[in-house]
Structure 1
Amino acid sequence: VLHPTAAVAGTPTVDAQKLIAELEPFDRGRYAGPVGWIGADGDGEWAIALRGALLQDNQITAYAGCGIVAESEPVAELEETELKFKPIREALA
């Protein structure tokens, strides 16, 4: 199952999703959603959208994140997220 992946939703999944809904005051939109294609012959390729941007009505919303676990260090997680945003910012500059 591609969505929701435990890498971004957490585990146990149902409990993690409830906590995310409680703590995050926004919709994650396309972040962490499955992206891919499937042909008529059944062949295809899928990935998880861990980084991306949506341009809509003259507004850009960029998506990126990191996995927060018990051993996570907030400063390091913020630095990782900023690093993930860098190519998105550069592409849109």
Structure 2
Amino acid sequence: RKLLASAKNLAEHAYVVEWIREVLAPLCAELDVPASPELTRTGELWHLASPIRGRLLDGSVSSLELARRLHPTPAVCGTPTDRALDAIRDVEGDRRFYGGAVGWCDRVGDGDWVVAIRCAEIDADGTSALAWAGGGIVAASDPDTELAETTTKLGTLLGALGVDAHAAAPAGDTLTRTSRTHE
């Protein structure tokens, strides 16, 4: 319930939802965007969620085309998208496989897509991995809270790789590299 009362998290979520609405509205005869988010739980974390549903004007638009229009979302790079991507390139350089659209599309255009926002690259020999996690930075963000949130998110990814996040970090170090993209 604390998440639903967080002005910072609600603002961050609203940026993403409004951006998706703006992208999909011209393509849809009907578009249902909830007025407020709901809570959804994964095995490790609670998240804000807004199930968005629409009916396309043109039934020939493929799921791949929709995924291309919706990537990258502000959840991956920030908003406004072009300025955020420029800032990321300037500050961070190549993000490699940081996040993105993951899914499938069949020959008639049907498919299923999700946004992967925590990723890892595993070397071919399986002996090392490069893991990524980040946080959404808005005007109301607190740096210490963002670091804690990002560390928690990275910890879930490391746990999936069988790594104890607390044991993996040298004393005094964090396992995160945060990027801060401002509006």
How do 1:21-32 and structure 2 match up within 5 A? 21-24=89-92, 26-32=93-99
Question: Do the aligned residues in 2 keep the contact of 1:32 with 1:49 (CA within 8 Å)?
Answer: yes
Do the aligned partners of 2:76 and 2:99 also contact (CA within 8 Å) in 1? yes
Paired residue total: 92
TM-score by length of structure 2 reads 0.46
TM-score normalised by length of structure 1: 0.84
CA distance in 2, matches of 1:66, 1:80: 7
Structure 1 residue runs of 5 or longer lacking an equivalent are none
On the 8 A contact 1:54/1:60 being kept in 2, the answer is yes
Q: Tell whether 2:132 aligns with 1:63.
A: yes
Displacement after TM superposition at 1:87 (Å):
2.1
Partner of 1:38: 105
Q: Distance in 1 between matches of 2:79 and 2:155?
A: 28
What is the aligned partner in structure 2 of residue 80 from structure 1? 149
- Please tell me whether residue 9 in structure 1 is matched to residue 90 in structure 2: no
Structure 1: 4+ residue segments shifted above 2 A: none
Q: Give the root-mean-square deviation of aligned CA atoms.
A: 1.6
The worse-fitting range, judged by mean Cα deviation, of 2-11 and 27-36 is: 2-11
Q: CA deviation at 1:60?
A: 0.2
- 1:67, distance to aligned residue in structure 2 (A): 0.8
% of aligned pairs identical? Answer: 47
Give secondary structure in 2 for the equivalent of 1:30.
coil
Q: Partners in 2 of 1:23 and 1:38 — Cα distance? A: 34
Does the CA-based 8 Å contact 1:50-1:64 persist in structure 2? yes
Cα deviation digits, residues 44-89 of structure 1 (max 9, x gap)? 1111110121101433011211111111111111111111112222
Q: Within 1, Cα distance between the matches of 2:101 and 2:80?
A: 20
Partners of 2:149 and 2:122 lie apart in 1 by 23
Structure 2 spans left out of the alignment, 5+ residues = 1-68, 163-183
